């Protein structure tokens, strides 16, 4: 689907930007350990090891909520939860994380458009905006109190449109079967009528 392809592209761009914009593990100071953990998580994501990568990223985001690395981990976690290659991806969780992330993103933050796009893709994939806000409020009451203007989809979510199409397909399939059954019944009744007409004709012959 178009939305999942875009989600995958945005996630790859995000992961690549974060990986390239910061030094490899081994740097000096207190940030070396968390930076090494972030890099390891990126490598795990790249190799398809989603569960351990997401777990480590979530821990980083919770441990360093006000540091750049914590914010990066939060945004990457949300992107990973939208990756269509992961069978366990959770759009609702992605939307909740992005709600939290956007609450702390300024108007001139270059990552804000990325987060907003990911948030809209989460909604397009079936996430519930109200649930996302409620989850965020429970986990981060202070962030939820911030007057965050979340973007809105300009049309019904893709998941809803697909569901409507599937419902219409099922309805039409049932109608076709109904018509086929009716056609068979009419053909049987017509054959019975022809036989009865022939019988009457034979009876009326002198």
Question: Do 169 and 93 lie in a common domain?
Answer: no
Do 46 and 56 lie in one domain? The reply is yes
2/12 Cα distance (integer angstroms): 16
**Are 117 and 165 part of one and the same domain?**
no
Q: What tens digit of pLDDT does each residue of 20-33 get?
A: 444 444 444 444 59
Residue 140 pLDDT class (50, 70, 90 cuts): low
Q: Do 179 and 112 belong together in one domain? A: no
Domain carrying residue 161 = 155-206
C-alpha dihedral sign at 172, 173, 175, 179: positive
**Last-in-domain residue among 114, 129, 154:** 154
Q: 3-class DSSP state for residue 55?
A: helix
Domain boundary among 134, 154, 174: 154
Q: Using one digit for the tens of pLDDT, what is the confidence trace for 93-124?
A: 999 999 999 998 888 899 999 999 999 999 99
Cα→Cα distances 40→61, 81, 133, Å: 15, 17, 30
**What is the model's pLDDT at position 20?**
47
| 150 in the same domain as 195 | no
| Under 8 Å between Cβ of 115 and 102 | yes
| Statement to judge: residues 21 and 48 lie in one domain | yes
Same domain, residue pair 7 and 81? yes
Question: Is 10 a residue whose pLDDT tops 90?
Answer: no
Number of domains in the chain: 2
What average pLDDT does this structure show over 77-96?
93
Say whether both 119 and 176 belong to one domain: no
Question: At 70, is the secondary structure helix, strand, or coil?
Answer: helix
Question: Is the predicted pLDDT of residue 195 greater than 70, yes or no?
Answer: yes
CB 54 within 8 A of CB 154: no
* Together in a domain, 122 and 75: yes
- Helix, strand, coil in percent for the chain, rounding step 5: 75, 0, 25
């Amino acid at each position: 689907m178009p939305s999942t392809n875009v989600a995958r592209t945005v996630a790859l761009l995000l992961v690549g930007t974060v990986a390239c914009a910061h030094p490899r593990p081994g740097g000096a100071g207190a940030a070396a350990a968390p930076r090494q953990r972030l890099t390891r998580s990126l490598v795990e994501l790249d190799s398809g090891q989603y569960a351990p990568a997401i777990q480590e990223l979530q821990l980083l985001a919770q441990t360093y909520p006000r540091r750049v690395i914590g914010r990066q981990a939060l945004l990457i976690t949300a992107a990973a939860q939208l990756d269509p290659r992961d069978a366990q991806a959770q759009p609702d969780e992605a939307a909740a994380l992005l709600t939290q992330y956007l609450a702390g993103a300024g108007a001139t933050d270059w990552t804000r458009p990325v987060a907003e796009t990911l948030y809209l893709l989460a909604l397009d994939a079936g996430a519930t905006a109200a649930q996302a806000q409620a989850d965020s409020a429970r986990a981060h009451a202070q962030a939820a109190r911030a007057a965050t203007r979340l973007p809105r989809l300009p049309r019904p979510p893709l998941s809803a449109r697909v569901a409507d199409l599937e419902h219409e397909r099922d309805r039409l399939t049932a109608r076709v079967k109904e018509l086929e059954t009716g056609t068979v019944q009419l053909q049987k009744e017509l054959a019975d009528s022809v036989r009865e007409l022939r019988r009457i004709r034979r009876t009326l012959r002198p």
